[in-house]
Amino acid sequence: MDNLTIPSELAGKRLDDALAQLSGQSRNRIQQLLTSGMVTSASGRLKASRKVKVGELFTLSLPPSTPLTLIPEAIPLDILFEDDHLLVVNKPAGMVVHPSYGHDTGTLVHALLHHCPELPGINGVQRPGIVHRLDKDTSGALVVAKDEATMRALSELFSTHDLERQYVAWCRGRPLWQCHTIELPLARHRHHRQKMAVCHNGKEAITEANCEFRHRLNMSRIRLTLHTGRTHQIRVHLSHLGLPILGDPLYARPFNPSKSFPKALRAAIIALPGQALHAELLAFTHPITKAEIHCVAPRPSVLATLDEVLIDSQC
């Protein structure tokens, strides 16, 4: 039970907005609590839209969080950072982040529920707060909130792009540029609903690209920094520039390297389970403790091997 007093800076705000800011709960959650009578005041009946006054006192009663109707699974996690508020994991390629149709087991959420059995809950449900996602076959650093306040604060960091996200991609093609800012708006593909496409009236999408290595056999390694977070942003941007990511099943044509390729390089390319894309760095200011968090996710063995044989076969 929390007693919340309206300070001067929140005077005139909507009740749901003011209580959300004071409690760390989401505005939607506050509305649910108001509807269910879990917010009380000497003012009597409370409406979410009514304006609050300085000094008003409200009592907020949070019911126990409802368990999520998923069975936790003891799936090993590569934890890069963890405290009471959040954790950063190195997600493996092949793992879906959130349960969905066709993916009702083995997801990151299932693993997190086992790793964090005492989650306080988000929006009244005991679940981890997925702030952003990585595609199934993209590996790398992903941050997860453990509580409502951290979830809201991390969501704000992502919406304002006030954090650093660097990816590494291994591509077909060799760009003529060394550094390039890709500003191409994205929207859902008109005919293939599982795909995104460059579209003049799409949403703004900005990717900063730096070519780190060019291979004589028309391949390259490119480091990418996201300034927006659109679905499939890196994959679409690189493909549009004629630099499709190796192994990408959606945005690259099938590629079976010829026998003229060095044997080790050919084997490394064929071994790719999906797109050769890795979220290598995630850095941000911790929204609660204000500590600087800097996480570097080790590359999975299949990508480490690909990179090694690319460099060796260049000689």
Q: What are phi and psi of 16, to 5 degrees?
A: -65, -35
pLDDT tops 70 at residue 264: yes
Q: Are residues 114 and 217 in the same domain?
A: no
Find where tokens 């941050």 sit. 143
User: Which of 2, 16, 83, 135 is an active site residue?
Assistant: 135
CA distance 96 to 229: 18
Least confident of 40-54, 221-235, 272-286: 40-54
Separation of alpha carbons 115 and 82, rounded Å: 11
Number of domains in the chain: 3
Residues 306 and 200 in one domain: yes
Residues 215 and 302 in one domain: yes
Sign of torsion over alpha carbons 113, 115, 121, 126: positive
- Give the confidence band of 260 by pLDDT, cuts at 50, 70, 90: confident
On whether both 203 and 118 belong to a single domain, the answer is: no
- The CATH number of the domain where 24 resides is what? 3.10.290.10
Active site residue 104: no
Q: Which tens digits make up the pLDDT trace of 135-183?
A: 999 999 999 998 888 988 998 999 888 999 999 999 999 999 999 999 9
Do 78 and 97 belong together in one domain? yes
DSSP classification of residue 8: G
- The pLDDT confidence band at residue 200, using thresholds 50, 70 and 90, is very high
Identify the pLDDT of residue 127: 61
**Is there a single domain that holds both residue 47 and residue 120?**
no
The CATH code of the domain that includes 85 is 3.30.2350.10
Based on the fold, state whether residues 212 and 284 are members of the same structural domain: yes
Distance CA 46, CA 44 (A): 6
16 against 243, higher pLDDT? 243
Task: Return the percentage of the chain with pLDDT > 70, whole number.
Answer: 93
Which one of 60, 77, 93 terminates a domain?
Answer: 60
CB atoms near residue 222 (< 10 Å): 25
Residues 99 and 156 in one domain: yes
Q: Which domain holds residue 14?
A: 2-60
Where is pLDDT greater, at 45 or 294?
294
pTM: 0.77
Residue found by looking up tokens 């609660």 in the block: 288
Domain end position, chosen among 60, 80, 102: 60
Q: What CA–CA distance (Å, rounded) separates 313 from 1?
A: 65
Domain end (from 60, 86, 108): 60
Assess whether 255 and 299 both reside in one domain. yes
Place 207 in a pLDDT band, splitting at 50, 70 and 90: very high
Pick 149 or 205 by higher pLDDT.
205
Do 283 and 204 lie in one domain? The reply is yes
The reply to whether 153 and 174 lie within a common domain is: no
Contact by Cβ (8 Å): 46, 81: no
Shared domain for 36 and 74, answered yes or no, is: no
Please report the pLDDT score of residue 114 as a whole number. 87
Beta strand pairing call for 164-172 and 186-188: unpaired
Q: In this predicted model, what pLDDT tens digit does every residue of 90-129 receive, in sequence order?
A: 999 999 988 876 778 899 989 998 898 877 665 545 567 8
